[in-house]
Amino acid sequence: MSAERRSQLLVGASALTAAMLVIAYLAAGGASYEPTPVQDPCKPREWRNPQGLQEIAQQFTLSALDGAACELRVPRETLARALSSPERRDAFARRYRIGDARLEAAVRAGLVRAIDDAERAGALSPIVAAPLREVVSRIPVEQAIELIRDARPVFEQASGILGGIYSLFGPAQGLLP
């Protein structure tokens, strides 16, 4: 077999392989690809059964972002990027024409929603949830944004406080929420 004939066979086999890949892609539904739609942040998010502080903090953050994004009528992912730095927050505010007061109110509303969701899911005791709502209504907005970014310290502190309070009840601990 000549070198020219082998080259032609190699090119033909490559073309056939490429055609088969395209056919397989189309058969698997590749022609109708659409990105996954962004979840509506105003729709309540079901908390999974959180195990450990990291998972609780993650769900708290998602809930807080959903709440704030719902208030601002923007996708949660857009708001998450905006809250990652002061520069991005300023660009976000200019793009969506959102003033400081409106952004601050939305961040606080998001935190309250997250506290409510955590309490409903049993991840946060009512003993801690009530005063925490008061705290988020008064802390500076920068601290509120930091709380959305990393809620672990709140839950670490809450578990320490509750452990101390519950120990005061001795054998009656099991009767508390």
What's the CA gap between 61 and 151, in Å, rounded? 7
What's the CA gap between 118 and 120, in Å, rounded? 5
Token digits for 147?
Answer: 């709380």
> Is pLDDT above 90 for 6?
no
What number of other Cβ atoms are within 10 A of residue 39's Cβ?
Answer: 14
Shortest CA distance to 125 belongs to which of 80, 158, 150, 101? 158
Which amino acid is it at 28? Answer: A
Task: Supply the pLDDT for residue 121.
Answer: 85
Task: Supply the pLDDT for residue 168.
Answer: 37
Residues 6+ apart with CB under 8 A from 72: 79, 96, 98, 102, 103, 106
Token digits for 25?
Answer: 């892609």
CB 73 within 8 A of CB 106: no
Please give the model's pTM, rounded to 2 decimal places: 0.69
Task: Supply the pLDDT for residue 99.
Answer: 93
Q: Provide the CB-side half-sphere exposure for 85 (13 A, CA).
A: 3
Task: Supply the pLDDT for residue 50.
Answer: 66
Helix boundaries (H) for 29-72? 53-72
Quote helix, strand, coil % in the chain, to nearest 5: 75, 0, 25
Task: Supply the pLDDT for residue 32.
Answer: 67
Q: What is the pLDDT of residues 125-171, one digit of tens each?
A: 888 888 889 988 888 888 888 888 877 776 666 655 444 444 433 44
Q: What is the pLDDT of residues 18-77, one digit of tens each?
A: 888 888 777 777 666 666 677 788 888 787 766 777 788 888 899 999 999 999 999 999
User: DSSP characters for 139-169?
Assistant: S-HHHHHHHHH--HHHHHHHHHHHHHHHHTT
Task: Supply the pLDDT for residue 158.
Answer: 60
Task: Supply the pLDDT for residue 70.
Answer: 95
Task: Supply the pLDDT for residue 175.
Answer: 40
Task: Supply the pLDDT for residue 105.
Answer: 95
> Is pLDDT above 50 for 95?
yes
